[in-house]
Amino acid sequence: MPDPIKPEQDPKPDWTPASPAKRALAWMGIVYMVILVLLTTYNLATGEPLHGIPGILLFPACGGLAALSWLRYRAAGGFHHCFMAVLAALCGLVSLVLGVLSLISALGG
């Protein structure tokens, strides 16, 4: 029987939150799954796949690399981590713009 005078201490929680790196990779996976579902739905609805849109599929990888590099830069420092984060973010932005332009031309023409 517990002592009524001493309150019981809370046990250590069984759940620990995921690290920011794991969260960044999880979000990258979610974006990939949304893109793949949309591309598959379009393919099933029209009967033909979209061509010339690799930028849309490259964007999540560049975004994930940028996020991981930035997290490493904040944790350990180093110019190379910051450089990689900026370079990956720029590549992701360029690939997204080119992919969207290609998608617009594929849907319009």
Only one residue has tokens 């973010």, namely: 89
pLDDT digits (tens, 9 = 90+) for 46-93: 998 888 788 888 999 999 999 999 999 999 888 999 999 999 999 999
Mean pLDDT (the chain) is: 88
- Cα–chain-centroid distance for residue 67? 8
Whole-structure pTM value: 0.77
d(CA 101, CA 84): 26
By the 10 Å C-beta count (0-12 exposed, 13-18 middle, 19+ buried), 32 is classed as: middle
The pair of three-digit structure tokens given for residue 15, joined into one six-digit string: 């759940």
